[in-house]
Amino acid sequence: MTDDLDQEKPVVDLNILYKNTAPYGDWRTSDYHSYLWIYVPKGANLLEREMVSYPNIQEERGKTYFGFIVHVLIGGETNARLKYELPADFDKNNYRLLIQKQSGVGDIPVKVTIKKNGREFVQERTMIKDLNFELK
């Protein structure tokens, strides 16, 4: 994930790599179908999407969310990519990000890049539980 806070309206470029580790299909395994929810600040605007279905865009609990279906063939990978613009009233001086881990999923590598004031802040972690990032 890359978040460029130096732009007038900050833009987020989010990439999520899905892997279907099943080696073949039988009565127990098939293609992977998942629903992806991305909660963003209220008023965020979806700019681009790749390898996901047509978006379901709604508001809930003071946030906007983008919902998509993601398909991954047996033994395959899908890189779901979203690009969205944060609202004009987004507070660049109080940046907080929560990445929630799905139950039952193993450890997941996560890389977050935040561009602010001409500098780049990079964090690479292994997600074994929910992750919180904060930049002030």
Q: For residue 103, what pLDDT is reported? A: 87
CA angle, corner 81, sides to 36 and 1, nearest 5? 95
Domain boundaries, position 117: 2-135
Provide the 10 A C-beta neighbour count for residue 97: 15
Q: Which residues have a Cβ under 8 Å from the Cβ of 92 and sit 6 or more positions away?
A: 5, 10, 116
d(CA 101, CA 105): 8
Q: For residue 57, what pLDDT is reported? A: 97
pTM score, whole prediction = 0.87
Please state the length of the chain.
Answer: 136
Q: For residue 113, what pLDDT is reported? A: 93
How many domains are contained in the chain? 1
Amino acid present at 16: I
* Beta pairing partners, 84: 12, 46
Structural contact between residues 40 and 11, judged by C-beta atoms closer than 8 angstroms: no
**Average model confidence (pLDDT) for the chain?**
92
Percentage, residues of the chain above pLDDT 70: 100
